[in-house]
Amino acid sequence: MSSIANLSVIRKLVQIATFVFFVYGGLITGYYLEDKISNALPALSCAYDKNGADLCTLIPIQHQMDHRLGEAIAKGGNLMMGIMPTLITLGTFLLFFVFLNKAFCGWVCPLGTFQEFLHMIGQKIGLNRRESLDNGLVNRIRPVKWFILLVLVFGFPLLTGMGMVNHDLGDPFCRICPSRILTTLATGDSSQVFVDTANSTTIFFSLLADFLFGLMVALALTVRQPFCRICPMLAMHAIFRKIGLLKLVKSGTPRCDRCGLCAKACPMDIREIHTDMERRDVTFEDCTLCGRCVEFCPDKDVLKLKYTFFPVFTSSPEYFKSRKKAQTKWEKANLIDWLKKGRGKPQVENP
């Protein structure tokens, strides 16, 4: 296997193509179409990006909680009229989601792509990366995405529509989402990097948004996928992952107890891929279906990416050996070593 013909390289090419489309695609599709492809993309693509070709489902859901369902409850109106727009949005979301499942996170999401490339930059400039987080820390982080989904995407917007909280809480997740800053900056628009001084609520959210974006950039250089771990879209995916056509499947063997390479390769630190020996479907709630665990499994047919009943990509000893060699070659090449070689200094090997 060529070092430039592995699954990770193919995924990077797909990520670049989808990043360009969802951030700049409106320049091709035109103004009217760019806002109407779905309005329910299962990935963080922001409506604040005026050149974007689509926008994520979390935007209309917050709007509908505020201006449809919340107002219907507050005014004693027809609840079905309040619920129907959200059901239509979720239905459109599911039409997209069912085809790729959680691969929307690992292959399509512009913010996920941005974090991965930041991590690659961190590696190339010789930063001391933290490949895996402690199990205890991972367990404490995992509930955060559910809190954000329930409180910021559904809770506060609904309370706003019912007139129980400040109107500025009608779209709280959009106000702090790093994708809003990323996608607008990517198109040369810096208007979203600011402090809104209209009132105390807007000051708090704008400061929090700028802080989260800066923190994500800093962490992504050394930690894999920092914001993905708390993203409410990941929680949305987790709810419906059983109906997705693409799945991660495991056929455990006794060798799995002594290995653990799949968990080490996972950018989301899902140790259950290694430890769970009972389930066939191991598309866990934090999985993004990136396929790295399959790439770095050294045993034949233990891990598979399957589309319905058909295997798309399967672990094998031959692929593992070539992939491991390519990964080692990639990790050895960084800017610090290149500069040292350019100056004629001896290279110090890591123990």
pLDDT band at 343 (very low <50, low <70, confident <90, very high): low
Is residue 61 over pLDDT 90? yes
Could you tell me if 41 and 137 lie in one domain? yes
Could you tell me if 64 and 133 lie in one domain? yes
In terms of Cβ atoms closer than 10 Å to its own Cβ (0-12, 13-18, 19+), residue 257 is exposed
How far is C-alpha 15 from the geometric centre of its chain's CA atoms? 11
Task: Count up the domains in the chain and report the number.
Answer: 2
List, for residues 250-264, the tens digit of each pLDDT value.
998 888 988 999 999
Q: How far, in Å, are 23, 105, 156, 257, 318 from residue 298 at the CA level?
A: 37, 25, 47, 13, 8
Residue at 210 is within a domain? yes
Q: How far separated are the first and last CA of the chain, in Å rounded?
A: 28
* Token representation of residue 71: 């107002």
Could you tell me if 214 and 90 lie in one domain? yes
Rounded CA separation 40/329 (Å): 40
List, for residues 294-314, the tens digit of each pLDDT value.
999 999 999 999 999 999 999
For 289-317, letters b (16+ CB in 10 Å) and e give: bbbbbbbbbbbeebbbbbbeeeeebbbbe
Q: Residue 293: which domain range?
A: 244-329
pLDDT band at 340 (very low <50, low <70, confident <90, very high): low
Asked whether the beta carbons of 318 and 338 are under 8 A apart, the reply is: no
Residue at 346 is within a domain? no
Q: 186 or 27: whose pLDDT is higher?
A: 186
Is residue 30 over pLDDT 70? no
Q: What is the mean pLDDT of residues 62-83?
A: 89
Rounded CA separation 106/267 (Å): 10
Could you tell me if 35 and 171 lie in one domain? yes
pLDDT band at 351 (very low <50, low <70, confident <90, very high): very low
H-only helix segments in 222-332:
232-240, 261-265, 272-275, 292-295, 317-332
Residue at 68 is within a domain? yes
pLDDT band at 2 (very low <50, low <70, confident <90, very high): very low
Residue at 350 is within a domain? no
Averaged confidence pLDDT in the chain: 89
Strands laid side by side in the 310-314 sheet: 246-250, 303-307, 310-314
pLDDT of residue 339: 67
Q: What is the mean pLDDT of residues 266-271?
A: 95
pLDDT band at 1 (very low <50, low <70, confident <90, very high): very low
pLDDT band at 50 (very low <50, low <70, confident <90, very high): confident
pLDDT band at 337 (very low <50, low <70, confident <90, very high): low
Could you tell me if 226 and 251 lie in one domain? no
pLDDT band at 3 (very low <50, low <70, confident <90, very high): very low
Residue at 345 is within a domain? no
Could you tell me if 115 and 203 lie in one domain? yes
How far is C-alpha 233 from the geometric centre of its chain's CA atoms? 8
Could you tell me if 250 and 312 lie in one domain? yes
Closest CA to 117 of 8, 252, 278: 8
* Across 46-55, 109-118, 195-204, 320-329, least confident range: 46-55
pLDDT of residue 350: 43
List, for residues 31-40, the tens digit of each pLDDT value.
555 555 667 8
Asked whether the beta carbons of 91 and 26 are under 8 A apart, the reply is: no
Could you tell me if 71 and 189 lie in one domain? yes
Element (H, E) at 230: none
List, for residues 222-242, the tens digit of each pLDDT value.
999 999 999 999 999 999 999
Could you tell me if 152 and 300 lie in one domain? no
